[in-house]
Amino acid sequence: MSDQTPIEERLRAALEARGRLINAHDLSPARPPAGRTWGTRRIRRVLSVAVAAAAAAAAVVLLLTSNTPDRPRPVPPARHSSPTPAVPHPRPSTIPHPVPSAVASGP
C-alpha cells in the first residue's frame, strides 16, 4: 500500500491523464496575434503625427497673421529728450488794418 491519501491518488491520476494529452505541437511557441491590434508603437505613431500636424497648423497661422498689412506696427515708447525751445506765439499786429466801409458805417 502507498503512503498517499485517496485525494492525492486522484490528483496524481488526473495530472498524469492531463499530461498525456499534451504533445510537441502544443509546446511550440504561440503565434503572434493576427489582424489589426493597437499596440504601443502604433499609439505613439498616431500621437506624434497629431502633434506634428498641430504644430504645423500653429506655425502657418502665426506666419499668416504676422504679415498682415492691416495690423499697425507697434510704436516705440517716447523718449525724454532735452526740452526744445518754445516757439513764441505770434503777437497781434499793432498796425491798424483797414476796415471795410460797410462795417465801419454801421446801421
How far is residue 57's CA from residue 30's CA, in Å, rounded to a whole number?
A: 45
C-alpha cell at 65: 497673421
How far is residue 77's CA from residue 43's CA, in Å, rounded to a whole number?
A: 51
Q: Give the pLDDT band (50/70/90) at residue 93.
A: low
Q: Give the pLDDT band (50/70/90) at residue 58.
A: very high
**Predicted pLDDT of residue 87:** 65
**Predicted pLDDT of residue 16:** 95
How far is residue 54's CA from residue 46's CA, in Å, rounded to a whole number?
A: 12
- What global pTM score does this model have? 0.33
**Predicted pLDDT of residue 104:** 53
